[in-house]
Amino acid sequence: MTTLLKGFLASTVLTTVASVSSAVELEVTHWWTSGGEAAAVVEFANAFNATGNTWVDGAIAGSGGTARPIIISRILGGDPMHATQLNHGRQAEELVEAGLMLDLTDVAEAEGWKEIVNPSSLLDSCTVDGRIYCAPVNIHSWQWIWLSHKAFADAGVEVPGNWNEFIAAAPALEAAGKVPLAMGQQPWQTAGAFDVMTIALAGPEVWTDVVMNKNADAVQGAAYTEVFEAAATARTLAANSNVQDWNLATNLVITGQAGGQIMGDWAQGEFALAGKTAGVDYTCLPGLGVNQVISTGGDAFYFPKQDDPAIEAAQKELAALLLSPEVQVAFNLKKGSLPVRGDVDLSTANDCMQKGLEILASGAILPGSDQAFSPDTQSEIKDLMVEFWNDSTISASAAQERYADIIANAD
Amino acid sequence: MSLISTETEAMHRQDRGAKKPIRLFRNLNAKVAALPMIFTALVIFIGCTLWTIYHSFTKSRLLPAPEKWVGLDQYERLWSTRRWLVSIENLVIYGACTLVLSLVIGFTLAALLDRKIRGENIFRTIILYPFALSFIVTGLVWQWILNPEFGIQSIVQSLGWERFAFDPLNNGQIVIYGILIAGIWQGSGFIMVIMLAGLRGIDQEIWKAARVDGIPAWKTYIFIVIPMMKPVFITALVMIASGIIKVYDLVVAQTSGGPGIASEVPAKYVIEKMFEAQNLGQGFAASTMMLVSVLVVLIPYIYLQLGGSRRG
């Protein structure tokens, strides 16, 4: 026993010396629990374990809405995990300001994140007072509509190429007994879909003016009137899709019961899982086929501050690893998201991801609304949207009025 | 009531008998033993409540920010938020219906069981059983029962009434009643048990006297037994009322506030503003309003209890 222990200790010391940093267990929390997501996380875990450290997985079931309060209360409650997923943007703003997060600036400088992270806005979202506090790992864009070839074939119409053609094809879909637009009724989905319609129909300039500059007068303008009317139309088209979860709504599209769904690029994982091929079974239109723009929200890892220098070293090692080219490729191919660095080879990605990569390369990008609004303002928008999408008695103009109010008080 | 009043009377008698200087040190062990609880009550219950109320007047976001005083801003925003108003409206409907229906159903079931029926134990167990389920389970069960494609609607339709429609959970106008059904199903068994205990406490001589006078059973219940059961009713009332104000998990499990915001309740607003919206100030303001509503229920109760014993 003692010799075994000694031998073990000796080998540990040896590996410690060999890999400079000592072997440490890091507990990592995240909310990636669906099939494709879990497979993607394993890529991180394997890469980290290969360095001699141990990745202790702390997956929290449920969406970000469930997981974030748990993560934040653990950090505030003095029981911080060693690393955690959050959406980069303003969710961790106050935690950083309160000095609860590890400063990663030296890692970022050593690894040259400033040069490799594309778009640079991702790194800006991690930056507070010139210091970098998080490691962005992927880019998720919301601006997609997913169309079912089967549904349109059954209805006897062509698969539309943009939003207006989609609206024009809706009566035929309805006549064929299809739900034109699948829409899960959770608040984040309706709010997200509205945001997508705004960028597509009002255009990126007006959107930027409202969302980034908080210009409430622009909300009262004609461009937004058009968006709210389109949203009211979409509301009638979605009236019969009685589902809550986004993947159930996606499933309506996959099975051809619904014509299309406005959803972020993570929907792609569901199509892949169902064995569908882009361009043959389904079509994806970035920016609803109108404005080919994608927003660059996504996920990032934050590292809550610890007292132990060994753990701190391991945290920094993990941060560097997350952005390394091999890990970026392996992770993002599984996740269906775009890598945060432009210098990696993703030729094996499918059609939809290629479209996303092209737009990313062309620079037609906007920040995600996570980066623009505080969680408080976002929750107000969600409250308005979920009410608007579910209650057909609220007119487009009434909703526009209330949206302008929220923007006027937004922060 | 009678039990409490005899207790307090006994205490008064002891107080009068005691000499003043010894009074503080009498039962010293018991008092020392009670200290941790007194401390807990003062710090945790009262202290934290005051802390919460104070912070509801600040612009606290993710972290408490006692220095950012904003006066009544949070309350103004609260009462101009449609979601909060809908929540309050739902709480009033849910509360009024739960209060009346729980008492009526609970008492009726108890009275029926009290008629010395065969198999009372079995019925009592069956009726009390839903109370053993958590609200989450209750909510999920009723979500399925009320689902138009699998539940009541499809069963009745398959029996031949093809135009029968009963789909409360997808109709914003009546969704709160769908939640109400589940709440009543879960809670009325417990009220029944309390009522049954009260009924068993009624002296059999009273029943005999009523029978001798030829008073029908239902009249005996309404005019004689119920007035005698006032303390039991008050206990049941407080139980139901506190259950109403904190209703949260049932809604989360059954509808998560939907469709739209049609079945939102105040407790859900508090939780979501505090943790999801990262706006502690707003959540505290809403929870302070909930505290006020609890006090509205509790103060008359305390008044009734204390006032009753003073008269006694």
- Please answer whether residues A334 and A105 qualify as being in contact, where contact means their C-beta atoms are separated by less than 8 angstroms: no
Q: What's the mean pLDDT when you consider all of chain B? A: 86
Q: What's the mean pLDDT when you consider all of chain A? A: 86
Asked if the model's pLDDT at residue A231 lies above 90, the reply is yes
Q: What average pLDDT score do residues B113-131 get? A: 88
* A91: closest chain B residue by CA: B278
Q: Quick one: A168 and A257 in the same domain?
A: yes
Asked if the model's pLDDT at residue A169 lies above 60, the reply is yes
Question: Quick check: A69 and B282 CB within 8 A?
Answer: no
Q: Tell me which residue in B61, B63, B261 faces A387 most closely, judged by beta carbons.
A: B261
pLDDT for res B12: 52
Q: Is residue A245 part of a domain?
A: yes
- Please answer whether residues A48 and A6 qualify as being in contact, where contact means their C-beta atoms are separated by less than 8 angstroms: no
Q: Total domain count for chain A?
A: 2
Q: Tell me which residue in B258, B259, B276 faces A69 most closely, judged by beta carbons.
A: B276
pLDDT for res B3: 46
Q: What average pLDDT score do residues A204-230 get? A: 90
Asked if the model's pLDDT at residue B309 lies above 70, the reply is no
Q: What average pLDDT score do residues B238-267 get? A: 88
**A231 or A364, which is more confident:** A231
For chain A, which residues lie within 8 Å of any Cβ of chain B, measuring from their own Cβ? 65, 68-69, 72-73, 76, 91, 93-95, 98, 185-186, 242, 244, 374-376, 378-380, 383, 386-391
A284 to chain B nearest CA, in Å?
A: 28
Question: Quick check: B258 and A73 CB within 8 A?
Answer: no
pLDDT for res A15: 43
pLDDT for res B53: 94
Question: CATH number for the domain including A65?
Answer: 3.40.190.10
- DSSP symbol at A103: -
pLDDT in tens, B188-227: 999 999 999 999 988 889 889 998 998 998 888 889 889 9
Q: Is residue A176 part of a domain?
A: yes
Asked if the model's pLDDT at residue A95 lies above 90, the reply is no
Asked if the model's pLDDT at residue A7 lies above 60, the reply is no
pLDDT for res A14: 42
- Please answer whether residues A34 and A266 qualify as being in contact, where contact means their C-beta atoms are separated by less than 8 angstroms: no
CB burial of B183-216 (b: ≥16 within 10 Å; e: otherwise) equals: bbbbbbbbbbbbbbebbeebeeeeeeebeeeeee
pLDDT for res B51: 93
**In chain A, % of residues over pLDDT 70:** 95
pLDDT in tens, A9-40: 444 444 443 444 457 889 999 988 777 788 88
Q: Quick one: A316 and A207 in the same domain?
A: no
Measure the CA–CA gap between B206 and B204, rounded to whole angstroms. Answer: 5
Q: Quick one: A121 and A42 in the same domain?
A: yes
pLDDT for res A22: 58
Measure the CA–CA gap between A163 and A289, rounded to whole angstroms. Answer: 6
**Does the ipTM surpass 0.90?**
no
Asked if the model's pLDDT at residue A219 lies above 70, the reply is yes
pLDDT tier for residue B16 given thresholds of 50, 70 and 90: low
pLDDT for res B147: 86
pLDDT in tens, A296-331: 888 899 999 988 888 999 999 999 999 998 899 888
Q: What average pLDDT score do residues A248-275 get? A: 88
Q: Quick one: A99 and A186 in the same domain?
A: no
Q: Is residue A367 part of a domain?
A: no
Q: Is residue A4 part of a domain?
A: no
Q: Quick one: A259 and A382 in the same domain?
A: yes
Around Cβ A112, how many Cβ atoms within 10 Å? 10
Q: What average pLDDT score do residues A184-196 get? A: 88
- Please answer whether residues A404 and A223 qualify as being in contact, where contact means their C-beta atoms are separated by less than 8 angstroms: no
Residues of chain A in contact with residue B256, where contact means CB-CB under 8 angstroms, are 186, 244
pLDDT in tens, A322-359: 999 889 988 888 887 888 887 887 777 778 888 888 88
- DSSP symbol at B311: H
Q: Compute CA distances B238 → A230, B136, B155, B299, whole Å.
A: 50, 22, 38, 11
Using alpha carbons only, how large is chain B's radius of gyration in Å?
Answer: 24
Q: Quick one: A245 and A284 in the same domain?
A: yes
pLDDT tier for residue A275 given thresholds of 50, 70 and 90: confident
| Per-domain residue ranges of chain B | 1-55, 74-311
Q: Quick one: A268 and A307 in the same domain?
A: no
Question: Quick check: B82 and A72 CB within 8 A?
Answer: no
pLDDT for res A19: 44
Q: What average pLDDT score do residues B65-69 get? A: 87
pLDDT in tens, A98-141: 889 999 999 999 988 888 888 888 888 888 888 999 999 988 88
Rounded to a whole number, what is the distance in angstroms from the first to the last CA of chain B?
9
**A244 or B32, which is more confident:** B32
User: From the candidates B77, B174, B276, which should be mutated to test the interface with A, based on the most A CB atoms within 10 A?
Assistant: B276
Closest CA to A246 of A216, A232, A266, A219: A266
Q: Quick one: A132 and A150 in the same domain?
A: no
Q: Quick one: A254 and A396 in the same domain?
A: yes
* Helix H or strand E segment including B150: none
The answer to whether residue B272 neighbours chain A at the CB level (below 8 Å) is: yes
Asked if the model's pLDDT at residue B2 lies above 60, the reply is no
**In chain B, % of residues over pLDDT 90:** 38
Of A249-263, B87-101, B294-308, the poorest mean pLDDT is in B294-308
Strand, coil or helix: what is B134? coil
- Please answer whether residues A390 and A185 qualify as being in contact, where contact means their C-beta atoms are separated by less than 8 angstroms: yes
Asked if the model's pLDDT at residue B22 lies above 80, the reply is no
Domain housing A51: 24-140+297-358
pLDDT for res B4: 47
Residues of chain B in contact with residue A94, where contact means CB-CB under 8 angstroms, are 61-63, 278
pLDDT in tens, A390-406: 888 899 999 999 999 99
Q: Quick one: A220 and A269 in the same domain?
A: yes
Q: What average pLDDT score do residues B152-160 get? A: 89
Q: Is residue A3 part of a domain?
A: no
* A379: closest chain B residue by CA: B277
Q: Is residue A1 part of a domain?
A: no
Measure the CA–CA gap between A235 and A253, rounded to whole angstroms. Answer: 17
B259 to chain A nearest CA, in Å?
A: 6
Around Cβ B130, how many Cβ atoms within 10 Å? 18
B278 to chain A nearest CA, in Å?
A: 6
Q: Quick one: A121 and A222 in the same domain?
A: no
Q: Is residue A8 part of a domain?
A: no
* Per-residue 3-state assignment (H helix, E strand, C coil) for A299-348: EEEECECCCCHHHHHHHHHHHHHHCCHHHHHHHHHHHCCECCECCCCCCC
pLDDT for res B88: 93
CATH architecture of B74-311: Orthogonal Bundle (1.10)
pLDDT for res B310: 53
Q: Quick one: A63 and A117 in the same domain?
A: yes
pLDDT for res A290: 86
**A14 or B32, which is more confident:** B32
* B282: closest chain A residue by CA: A376
**A232 or B259, which is more confident:** A232
Runs of H (alpha helix) within B21-119: 28-40, 48-55, 73-79, 82-113
